Amino acid sequence: MVKVEKSPAPAQKKKDDRPLDFAFGKENYIIMLIGLGLIALGFILMVGGGSSDPKVFNEEIFNFQRITLAPILILAGFVVELYAIMKKPRD
C-alpha cells in the first residue's frame, strides 16, 4: 500500500490592515453636492416662459430670472464643483 502524504495547506494571505484611501474626503463630497444643487437650481429657473399657443409670443421668456440669474447660478455651480475637486482632503 502506498502512503499518500497530504500537502500542507496553502499559506493564507496576510490581510492588509490599512484603511481605504479615497480620493476625496467627506467635506469634498458635501461641497460637490452643493455645486450640483446650484447647477440643478439654475436649470430649474430656466424652465418655463413659453406659451401654450404657438401663435402668441410670451415676453416672459426674456425676464431677468431666465436670462441672467439662471446662467450665473449654473456657472457658480461649476466653479464650486471645480473647487471641490481641487480641494485637498484633510488627513
> For 35-81, what is each residue's pLDDT tens digit?
999 999 999 999 987 778 888 888 888 899 999 999 999 999 999 99
Long-range contacts of 43-49 (CB under 8 A, 24+ apart): 43/70, 43/74, 45/69, 45/70, 45/73, 46/70, 46/71
- Residue-wise pLDDT tens digits, 10-20: 666 666 666 77
pTM here is 0.72
> DSSP string of 49-90?
---SSTTS--GGGGSHIIIIIHHHHHHHHHHHHHHHHHSPPP
